[in-house]
Amino acid sequence: MVEHKEASMAMSPPPVEQAQKGFFQVIVHSFFIVPFLITVFCVLLFAAINLLTREQRTAYDYLEDIKTGGLTKRWQGAFELSKILANTTIVTKDQRFTQELIAAFEHAQHDDDRVRQYLALAMGKTGNPIFVAPLLAALKNEKEENLSALIYALGMLKDSTMVSLLYPYLEHPQSRIRSIAVVALGNIASPGSKAVLRTALNDKEPNVQWGAAVSLARMGDPAGKDILLKMLDREYLSRFTEVDRQEQNNLILTAIEAAVLLQDTILKEKIEQLAQHDANMNVRSAALRAAQR
């Protein structure tokens, strides 16, 4: 009996150790676990409320933010509007909405540049030709910072009757504006634009050359074939230090999409090589799909 009692006492921790262990458990529970659980609950609650609130907001709500909100609310409202208008066709056919959007765009002429730019993109994403006129009117006296957004928006509207009004921007001193102009002309895809796009293949800025080659390919013109081959070559793209790996991937994906339209043997061979050997999974997948067409 004595031996059993002594063994039992040896196996049980002393009362002091038990008290310390219980104390530390209370500390951990009170100062770490409980606050952590409360924080997680609050984050989830905030996310749920934010999601529900965002889902209930309409295009008219964002227009109201643009008209009456502070600076941050105005440009964020324009940004959200440009996002939702790409996914809906109901409100964009509403005459009241289109007139209010045009009025907001015109009123934003002297506002923060972001408001003006996002509103232009919102108008373009609707695909509604009613927005061609206000965008063209704005081009005449638009500040340089906003030109790219307006030109790109006009390209999304795809009105072939106004392509000649975009031609002067292919001679603009800013390469970004020239680059956006060739992309816009490619989106409109008017056969009459082929000549100026072929000229843009010789632009001193590679971005303009790339955009012109892609635009021509989308129109079935192989004049930019050699440039597309370069765009499919990572070694060539790596020469441009300002083009990071993700941008390389995007350029190659764009080139694949354009090149496959030409049904050219040399381009197809290059695409097949990418399908087998490129390090990026998205590029390999896109190249494989293109090679199988």
Domains 60-157 and 166-293 share a fold: yes
pLDDT given at position 37: 56
Q: How far apart are CA 279 and CA 286, in angstroms?
A: 13
The structure tokens 């975009």 sit at 166
What are the C-alpha distances in Å from 164 to residues 22, 76, 181, 195?
Answer: 81, 33, 11, 12
Residue 102, pLDDT score: 95
Least confident window among 55-64, 72-81, 116-125, 240-249: 55-64
Asked whether the predicted pLDDT for residue 157 surpasses 80, the reply is yes
pLDDT at 6: 47
Lowest mean pLDDT among 81-95, 103-117, 251-265: 81-95
pLDDT, tens only, 201-228:
999 999 999 999 999 999 999 999 999 9
Domain 60-157 has CATH 2.40.50.100: no
Both tokens of 20, joined, read 């310390």
Question: Contact 232/207 with Cβ under 8 angstroms?
Answer: no
CA distance 104 to 107: 5
Residue where the block lists tokens 């964009």: 92
Task: State the average pLDDT for the chain.
Answer: 86
What is the pLDDT at residue 235?
A: 94
**What are residue 127's phi and psi, to 5 degrees?**
75, 5
Other Cβ atoms less than 10 A from the Cβ of 161: the count is: 10
Q: Give the pLDDT confidence score for residue 153 in this predicted structure.
A: 97
Joined together, the tokens standing for residue 37 give 């659980």
- The model's confidence at residue 7, banded by pLDDT at 50, 70 and 90, is very low
Give the pLDDT score at 50: 59
CB 154 within 8 A of CB 136: yes
Q: Residues 45-55: what's their mean pLDDT?
A: 57
Domain boundaries, the chain: 60-157, 166-293
Is the confidence at residue 35, as pLDDT, over 60? no
Q: What is the pLDDT of residues 228-278, one digit of tens each?
A: 999 999 999 999 999 999 999 999 999 999 999 999 999 999 999 999 999
- Picking from 51, 135, 128, the residue whose alpha carbon sits closest to that of residue 90 is 128
Give the CA distances from residue 192 to residues 150, 197, 226, 256, in Å, rounded to whole numbers and listed in that order.
21, 10, 22, 25
| pLDDT of the residue at 36 | 55
* CB neighbours of residue 182 within 10 Å: 30
Contact present, 177 and 205 (Cβ < 8 Å): no
Of 1-5, 46-50, 162-166, 220-224, the one with minimum mean pLDDT is 1-5
pLDDT at 131 over 80: yes
Say how many CA atoms lie within 13 Å of 199 toward its Cβ: 10
| Crossing angle (nearest 10°) for helices 113-126 and 144-157 | 10
CATH superfamily of 166-293: Leucine-rich Repeat Variant (1.25.10.10)
> Structure pTM?
0.77
